[in-house]
Amino acid sequence: MERRDLINGGILSGLTTLASPSSAAAQRTDERDIAQAIDKLTDLLQRSRDVSPELARIRDQQRAFLKLNQKFPDFIEVGINVWDSVCDWHIRHQLPMTIGRTTEGRYTLTVMLTALVLRPDQTDNYIGLGFDAR
């Protein structure tokens, strides 16, 4: 159901129950409040579906690896901006973060069956190719 249908339905039902001019003004205020609430809800739903551009690039690497190897990569190396963006995405969606360390002491963050390996020595927006633990 679209917002226009909800608002128009409220307007039509309100017009049939109008008893005095003061109730019409109150009804218009109520309708504006309802419209604003619907707009806020729509924005919230849109933001919840948003995927960061960095996460989309990580998914592209995962898909390419999956097509070649019939499995997701065990690791993908990323720069600090990508790392921060993925952390922010977890926080925004209130998802738990699984942070660990490799045997070399590098930080890892698990995203969709793949561990992102933080590489601060690379450029900030770096996203490497996926690879296996072997």
Give average pLDDT by consecutive 10-residue segment, the chain, 134 residues: 56 55 69 86 71 87 95 96 93 90 94 94 94 84
Give 73's contacts (C-beta < 8 A, 6+ positions apart): 61, 62, 65, 114, 130, 131, 132
CA angle 112, 68, 96 (to 5 degrees): 5
Contact 57, 78 (CB under 8 A): no
Select from 37, 47, 120, 38 the least CA-distant residue to 83: 120
Query: What is the predicted pLDDT for the residue at 37?
Result: 87
Q: pLDDT value at position 81?
A: 95
User: Position of tokens 């690497």?
Assistant: 61
d(CA 106, CA 117): 7
pLDDT of residue 131: 93
CA–CA distance, 30 with 40 (Å, rounded to integer): 15
pTM: 0.64
Query: Which residue's structure tokens are 């900030």?
Result: 124
Q: What is the pLDDT of residue 38?
A: 87
Give just the sign of the alpha carbon dihedral 23, 25, 28, 29: negative
Beta-ladder partners of 115: 75, 110
